[in-house]
Amino acid sequence: MNRLAAFSCMVIAAVGAAQAATYSDVAVDVSALPKEKRFVRDLLLSRVRARTPPSPGTPLKVRFVLDGSLSGENAVVTVTNGVASVRGGRFRSIVFGTGVLMRAIRYGADSFELDDGEYRFSPAKPYRIAYFARHFNNWYLKAGADELVRYMEDLALWGLNGFHMQLAYPVVDMVWSTEGDRAVFAAASVALGERALALDVDLSTSGGSNCAPEDMPPEFRATKDPKGSRGADEYNVCPEKPGALDYLLKLRQAANDRTKHLPVSGVVYWPFDEGGCACEKCAPWGGRGYVKLIERFRDINEKTYPGVRHVVSTWFFRDDDWEAFYGYLNKGQSWIGALLIDAHGDFPRYPLEHPLPKDIPVITFPEISMWGRFPWGGTGANPLPVRFERLYRQCEAIVSGFMLYSEGIYEDVNKIVINGLYVDPKLTHDDMLREYARWELPGCAEADFVSLCAKLEDIYETQSLNKKKGRKGHRMSRYLKETLQDEELSRRARVAHEAAVLADTIDGAILPRMRRSWRWRQIYLRAKIDEAAYAARDIRTPAALPAYAELTNIYHAEKQVERLYDGTWRGYTCPPFCDVDKMRPHESCK
């Protein structure tokens, strides 16, 4: 098989024999681009040179061209006789094509190789969005603006075309914040907004919910759902109580006033988690109180961001919510630009069994962060490629894209797997893992990385999903000591050891300049933590503590660890230095 035919992930290569050439560096021509878009040169050079440093010899010449003959987001990369051209009909296509070019290269310690031919980026699904959840002292809240912008660029180079995030300081953290915290957050929001505009990708933020700050007037408190909470109910407002609707509208306007200078092109409305009210005037919330409230928010958002796209979430809907919501849609709701539909587990059955009454695009909400273990990401990376391909296949026929929910960078692999499936549904999760390894772990055997991810996924789940066992079910420590049966423990210990050995093999093969990258380190540390934890039946073994310290540094989780120790809890993605089963959670987390 020729190399071009083998290079399948998100790229269609030219038919015919591959002519390979060796290069020492990259020489970039951006003269055909507007001046404000010539920074794509830096995107390319910084990442290629991070893998293979410049050396004497023949450089690969790369030129960028805006080509009006290419429609949509399609990009074409042509490599011939030492010259690569990256063409796209709009600038975001140029960015996507740049990523295609970089991942087609085979990197070496002193030089790199690239096959002549044509490579294409032609995404099947138009919505490919990452939700950066900037709250609870996680990486998105504590990372510097430069890190956040760099990560946005990295994901755009993979083909993501939209980013959703809190742009105004999150209400769940407001009481705990200082003026300095809020100033840093606002500056990062500006930097992210400016980069989204420069990259020609979409930026969206909250359109509103009935969640309020912790110091909300207690008389506005919503009625709890007698069927069980769908998110904490402590700070939700019933819009039917006297004065409460005006209170919520003022909160929405105040949030918009803080972000009106940013290039927001979309807003997303949320019903539950946090949200909802079960009083007789609001229930069922999803098709009654919720839609009445977001129509009021819609008008405020339209004035702040003219022409904004409205995305309405149906997260945590039950059948009664769906039935009432379908009745609302049947009345003709042309203002809704897309529906966000998904659940923690399998894709909701109701919209699969009952076709939507209106032709509205459907976006999934892959929950890549808060599954299988707690604290989320606390033991390192959580690659779950089999899970996310299975979930995608349940709904691929009716969906137009995704908005993946991210609590941090520990699920970087999951982001890339999901995006690849939506770009080209003919691919499999293994295809995406191989491409990830070629790009992020150059030098290693791709098959080894695929095998490592399979082993890590096999032994990942250590948390009971039975809510009767506790707010988060079994933490890993309790699971290892009390729940896991001896036979399964032995099997997992064997798999964990195999994963650790494989991680050492990969570590020795990766190019030295990439061996210390945070992406690889959090995968490597996860393998080592699991080996120690399953062998000792304890997640706080002496062997694991240095790994937790390194993860704390990678995640900027110092504040989370501090608050686990002092019992105020505010952080869910930190390494478990202490026994989180015995910590006193904050009142809002009970």
Same domain, 327 and 225: yes
One domain, residues 211 and 348: yes
Q: For residue 406, is it within any domain?
A: no
Asked whether residue 37 is domain-assigned, the answer is: yes
Domain limits for position 42 = 3-121
Residue 505 belongs to some domain of the structure: yes
- Tell me what pLDDT residue 265 has: 98
One-letter amino acid at 557 equals A
Q: Which of 311, 331, 352 is the last residue of a domain?
A: 352
> Do 453 and 579 reside in the same domain of the chain?
yes
CB–CB of 45/79 below 8 Å? Answer: no
Q: Return the pLDDT at 565.
A: 67
Nearest-angstrom CA–CA distance, 221 and 236: 6
Note whether residue 196 is domain-resident.
no
What pTM was estimated for this model as a whole?
A: 0.94
Model pLDDT, residue 288 = 98
Residues 6+ apart with CB under 8 A from 468: none
pLDDT at site 567: 62
pLDDT at res. 18:
67
DSSP designation for 483:
I
* Pairing outcome for strands 202-208 and 336-340: unpaired
Does residue 370 fall inside a structural domain?
no
The verdict on residue 527 lying in a domain is: yes
**End of a domain among 352, 379, 414?**
352
Nearest to 499 by CA among 374, 408, 367, 380: 380
For residue 402, the SS3 value is: strand
In a domain, 265, yes or no: yes
Three-state SS for 248?
helix
38, two tokens:
């010539």
Check if the beta carbon of residue 321 is closer than 8 Å to that of residue 287: yes
Task: Note whether 359 and 338 are within 8 A (CB).
Answer: no
If asked whether residues 478 and 579 sit together in one domain, one would say: yes
Task: Specify if 235 maps to a domain.
Answer: yes
Q: Counting beta carbons within 10 angstroms of the beta carbon of residue 146, is it exposed (0 to 12), middle (13 to 18) or buried (19 or more)?
A: exposed
For 389, phi and psi rounded to 5 degrees? Answer: -70, -40
| Residue 584 pLDDT | 44
CATH number of the domain within which 98 lies: 3.30.379.10
Do 211 and 113 reside in the same domain of the chain? no
Q: How far apart are CA 156 and CA 95, in angstroms?
A: 7
- Rounded Cα distance between 410 and 382, Å, is 6
Reduced to 3 states, what is the DSSP secondary structure of residue 302?
helix
Residuewise pLDDT in 10s, the chain (590 residues): 334 433 444 544 443 446 899 999 999 999 999 999 999 999 999 999 999 999 999 999 999 999 999 999 999 999 999 999 999 999 999 999 999 999 999 999 999 999 999 999 999 999 999 999 999 899 999 999 999 999 999 999 999 999 999 999 987 788 778 999 999 999 999 999 999 999 999 999 999 999 998 889 999 999 999 998 887 778 899 999 999 999 999 999 999 999 999 999 999 999 998 899 999 999 999 999 999 999 999 999 999 999 999 999 999 999 999 999 999 999 999 999 999 999 989 999 999 999 998 899 999 999 999 999 888 899 999 999 999 999 999 999 999 999 999 999 999 999 999 999 999 999 999 999 999 999 999 999 999 999 999 999 999 998 754 444 444 445 788 889 888 999 999 999 999 999 999 999 999 999 999 999 999 999 999 999 999 999 999 988 888 999 999 999 999 998 888 776 666 666 688 888 765 444 443 333 33
Q: Is 548 exposed, middle or buried (0-12, 13-18, 19+ CB in 10 A)?
A: buried
Q: Which of 44, 119, 31 is nearest to 74 (CA)?
A: 119
Positive or negative: CA dihedral 335, 406, 385, 13:
positive
Residue 114 and residue 7 share a domain: yes
Structural domain total, the chain: 3
Domain-terminating residue out of 320, 352, 384: 352
Helices (H), 52-161: 91-104, 139-142, 145-158
Burial class for 416, CB neighbours closer than 10 Å (0-12, 13-18, 19+): buried
